[in-house]
A and B are shown apart, each in its own frame.
Chain A
Amino acid sequence: MKSRFVLAALAGVLMSGTAYATDVKIGVMNDRSGIYADIGGEGSVIAARLAVEDFDAASKGINVEIVSADHQNKPDVGSNIARQWYDTEGVDVIADVPTSSVALAINEITREKNKIFLNSGAATSDLTGAACSPNTVHWTYDTWQLAHGTGSAMVENGGKTWFFLTADYAFGHALERDTSAVVKEAGGEVIGSVKTPFPGTDFSSFLLQAQASGAQVIGLANAGGDTVNSMKQAAEFGITQAGQAIAGLLVFINDVHSLGLDVAQGLVLTESFYWDMNDGTREWSARFEEQTGNKPSMIQAGVYGAVLHYLKAVEAVGNKETEAVMAKMKEMPTDDPLFGKGVVRQDGRKIHDSYLFRVKTPDKSEGEWDLYETVATIPAEKAFRPIEEGGCEFVK
């Protein structure tokens, strides 16, 4: 289209007018108003800014501009923004994007437009499996990791029999299916499951069914508000006190914070990052908290890590050409204060350690955000789905 040509020409003039060698525009797209606003939202934008700051982009000849948008968890809104960003606003990279449906849509558009997608927020392991793309890096976590982390570790710690509360939609079904497989593989047994309407507010009836089953572990194959409600009601009905353990399959630190320790205590969950792990994470999280008032979630930490690594790759390549930068990101080992040393695999999966946490009891907690104790560390090579099992097509 004509307008685009004019714009491009204009952009060219502007570019040559600045002293910077490379202009990079990063679009942080996530949920800024809905159920995932707290785990990503403005916090992810701040995380991206901190990455630019720490990288000291300006002095390295890279001029970074960060823009942000709210996809409202709607794939059509998200793809609309993405197309517009790529087509008319010169965005080179889209970062974050929680909500699997939106992430899959952005994944397709990014491939079509040959740009770069640094996903941190989405759970679906399809991003590096059936829907994998040479233009995508999936940084923080995925469903395979969570199911395996929580599932196998629980069975090893004696939780042999399971009962699932499964949110009745594709995501819940997938989570239950993956976790069941892990539980069985580890020598456990799934003695029942109930499909709960989604989204739900009252889980008491299903919790009683879970209680009646006598399973040692109640697995929550749900997310967001469903998880919060089922946890709250499990506490109300005294389910953990009666000896059953509850395993959250997709729980974030903000959920635990919102539930409070009285309710959430004893919950076992898997995450890739916790602010209180070492000096590096504590120092960064303090800076983050100064600006947001909250400790970072693993998703926000992931945005930081991914943007930092991307900028390093741009510096190493010397320009922002997609193939070269992607190749560099996969070739160069990752290293940042939050996830430590790691690597981006050929299929775009970022590999790092993963942790099984247990939520502290109120008397052991020393502060508002002192929420987890580490039960086990799952080493990087075991934490994620092996590349050959993903079925990613372009990886031969």
Chain B
Amino acid sequence: MTATTEATGGPVVAQQTAGGMPVHHIAIFAGLLALLIAAPFFFYPIFIMKILCFALFACAFNLLLGYGGLLSFGHAAYFGMASYVCAHAAKVWGLTPELAIICGTLVAGVLGFLIGSLAIRRQGIYFAMITLAFAQMVYFFSLQAEFTGGEDGIQAVPRGHLFGLIDLRSQESLYFLVLAIAFAGILLIYRIIHSPFGQVLKAIRENEPRAISLGYRVNRYKLAVFVLSATLAGLAGATKAIVFQLASLTDVYWTMSGEVVLMTLLGGMGTVFGPIVGAAVIVTMQNYLATFGAWVTIIQGLIFVVSVMLFREGIVGVISKWTRKPL
């Protein structure tokens, strides 16, 4: 996958590959959609909605790591802040859910712009440490700010009526709203990856000096993908606030940043479907291991170690290798 970009490099060829969706991708998306429409009849709907929110979050993160080559260790900041703003907008300002979600998403985008413009000044591990440090600042802010409710979080957020019409207290309507948001978000990410912009990103990831010499203003591209990723992470966070009817410190804490890295790594970074699989696995695991206390942390650590040592392509990466199809 990376070899082709290496070989072709320039923007002209990149535009050609940005054409229609390969058939097997269409098939997978369609299958996924069918599966998800049927899922609430077999599984606990809120559980599926949680997976959907995290799948979108992980895909947004993967846009930055897998395609931009930038490891952010502070994505909880956008996810969590969006969730706070959305909860506040819905509860205190009384906005309808779609407007509240948009508010949260926009704030995440602005935050992403502020942090991103500073963070892209350094590369590699410094970048990771800087994003982590800024996320920690956002955490402290959330802890102390009046509107976030400190450690109590914002509780009992009303789900409200979508467009003022559809009552989201019905679990079915809510489910399909979340499904629509997550799916639209993931398709948008897919579109970005396969656009000329996405091709340039891959070129930068593979060989930054070369991209510079080709005349790309690398930092602008990096900032753009950073902001996009933060915004979409925000969309996931804001949606989560409506689903769980609360926004809390968990979502801005650095362990959340670690979890999204884990989901992406496990599923397969730089693959389209990897983060979705990773999110599903991790959320399911947390769900079933909830009774085992600190074992959740230990197992997550083990998955990290195993993934890094033996399994760097991730689940979907390995399948992609077997089937010889980019997934």
Interface residues of A (CB under 8 A from B): 1-3, 32-33, 37, 41, 67-72, 74-77, 79-81, 83-84, 87-88, 99-101, 104-105, 108, 124, 131, 168-171, 173, 197-198
Binds A, one of B91-99, B116-124, B143-151, B184-192: B143-151
Flag if A77 contacts B150 (CB, 8 Å): no
CA distance A74 to B44 in the complex (A): 20
CA distance A71 to B291 in the complex (A): 8
A199 closest partner in B (C-beta): B143
Known: A69-B291, A197-B140. A170 touches B50 (CB 8 A): no
Tell me the minimal C-beta distance from A206 to chain B in angstroms. 16
Q: Which of B41, B42, B46, B248 has the most CB of A within 10 A?
A: B248
Flag if B153 contacts A169 (CB, 8 Å): no
- Cβ of B294 within 8 Å of any chain A Cβ, yes or no, is yes
Flag if A100 contacts B297 (CB, 8 Å): no
Flag if B46 contacts A84 (CB, 8 Å): yes
- Inter-chain contacts of A84 with B (CB < 8 A): 44, 46-47
Flag if A87 contacts B44 (CB, 8 Å): yes
Q: Which of A67, A80, A173 contacts B46 (CB 8 A)?
A: A80
Contact with A along B16-60 (1 / 0, CB 8 A): 000000000000000000000000111111110010000000000
CA distance A79 to B157 in the complex (A): 13
Flag if B248 contacts A74 (CB, 8 Å): yes
Tell me the minimal C-beta distance from B40 to chain A in angstroms. 6
What are 27 contact pairs spanning A and B, CB under 8 A?
A1-B171, A3-B43, A32-B293, A33-B293, A33-B294, A33-B297, A69-B290, A70-B290, A70-B291, A70-B293, A74-B250, A75-B153, A76-B248, A76-B251, A77-B250, A77-B286, A80-B46, A83-B46, A84-B44, A99-B151, A101-B249, A105-B153, A169-B150, A169-B151, A171-B150, A171-B151, A171-B152
Tell me the minimal C-beta distance from A196 to chain B in angstroms. 12
Known: A68-B291, A101-B152. A76 touches B46 (CB 8 A): no
CA distance A197 to B293 in the complex (A): 27
Q: Which of B155, B292, B296 contacts A75 (CB 8 A)?
A: B155
- Inter-chain contacts of B153 with A (CB < 8 A): 75, 101, 105
Flag if A124 contacts B152 (CB, 8 Å): yes
Flag if A1 contacts B40 (CB, 8 Å): yes
- Inter-chain contacts of A71 with B (CB < 8 A): 290
- Inter-chain contacts of A131 with B (CB < 8 A): 155
- Cβ of B156 within 8 Å of any chain A Cβ, yes or no, is yes
Contact with A along B131-175 (1 / 0, CB 8 A): 000000000100110000111110110000000000000010000
* Residues of B contacting A: mostly: helix
Known: A75-B248, A79-B246. A88 touches B152 (CB 8 A): no
- Inter-chain contacts of A83 with B (CB < 8 A): 44, 46
CA distance A77 to B41 in the complex (A): 23
Flag if A169 contacts B246 (CB, 8 Å): no
Flag if B246 contacts A76 (CB, 8 Å): yes
Tell me the minimal C-beta distance from B159 to chain A in angstroms. 11
- Cβ of B311 within 8 Å of any chain A Cβ, yes or no, is no
Tell me the minimal C-beta distance from B253 to chain A in angstroms. 9
Known: A74-B250, A76-B250. A170 touches B149 (CB 8 A): yes
- Inter-chain contacts of A77 with B (CB < 8 A): 250, 286, 290
Known: A33-B297, A69-B290. A75 touches B41 (CB 8 A): no
- Inter-chain contacts of B297 with A (CB < 8 A): 33
Q: Which of A3, A81, A198 contacts B41 (CB 8 A)?
A: A3
Not counting A72-B296, A79-B244, A171-B151, a sample of 6 additional A-B residue pairs whose C-beta atoms are within 8 angstroms of each other reads A33-B297, A68-B291, A74-B250, A75-B246, A75-B248, A170-B149
